[in-house]
Chain A
Amino acid sequence: DTGVSQDPRHKITKRGQNVTFRCDPISEHNRLYWYRQTLGQGPEFLTYFQNEAQLEKSRLLSDRFSAERPKGSFSTLEIQRTEQGDSAMYLCASSLAQGISGNTIYFGEGSWLTVV
């Protein structure tokens, strides 16, 4: 197993463009999480899925952000009409949902977004 993988690792885009990030979780993990992390801060929870169902969305997830996990495997996070304030690292993580396994989440290496 190669762990959680994210693509692309880096993205530079012009303000107003749309961007999409992909996350492939660890294969047997049914929970998948998205976070945003800016320099000097910890990760901020954005949303999470259990299988294909999106169970929770943070108020940080404005209507320009949408996340999907159509078949309960990989997930995409799309940002429409990007703004400079969207510049951050977008982290994905996955875990199992059963019992104490939910306490161990595995992070990907993140996708860096720079909006110019």
Chain B
Amino acid sequence: GEDVEQSLFLSVREGDSSVINCTYTDSSSTYLYWYKQEPGAGLQLLTYIFSNMDMKQDQRLTVLLNKKDKHLSLRIADTQTGDSAIYFCAESKGVNAGKSTFGDGTTLTVKP
């Protein structure tokens, strides 16, 4: 079946780069997503990448996709305390992000 795995915790210093990793098992995944969830709130889409791409950059965010290894990463440059949140990786088949399979999230803590 489908499975999306993430490490549970990451702690960085303000100003450093953060790298959050994700692996998935379904080779038919066509889109991969990163979401951010702040305490007590819903999820906010940060970015997504189509499976035939290997990199996407959007301001401080860089997504790298290694389709062969089914590995996805999110790099946040110049991490700020406001970036502290839970980050979820998700995958979908086809253009229907609402039917995605989500990982269990990585809690990012940014220390001043």
Residue numbers of A with Cβ under 8 A of B are 4, 31, 33, 40-45, 48, 56, 91, 93, 95, 99-100, 102-110
B4 CB contacts on chain A under 8 angstroms: 42
Query: Would you give 13 A-B contacts (Cβ < 8 Å), ordered by A?
Result: A40-B104, A42-B88, A42-B105, A43-B43, A45-B101, A95-B97, A99-B95, A103-B48, A103-B97, A105-B97, A107-B44, A108-B42, A110-B40
Give the size of the chain B interface in residues (CB under 8 angstroms): 23
Are B98's CB and A43's CB within 8 A? Answer: no
B90 CB contacts on chain A under 8 angstroms: 42
Q: How far is the CB of A114 from chain B (nearest CB, A)?
A: 14
Within 62-112 of B, Cβ neighbours of A (below 8 Å) are at: 88, 90, 95-105
B105 CB contacts on chain A under 8 angstroms: 40-42
**Given B48, B88, B100, B103, which contacts A45 in the complex, CB threshold below 8 Å?**
B100
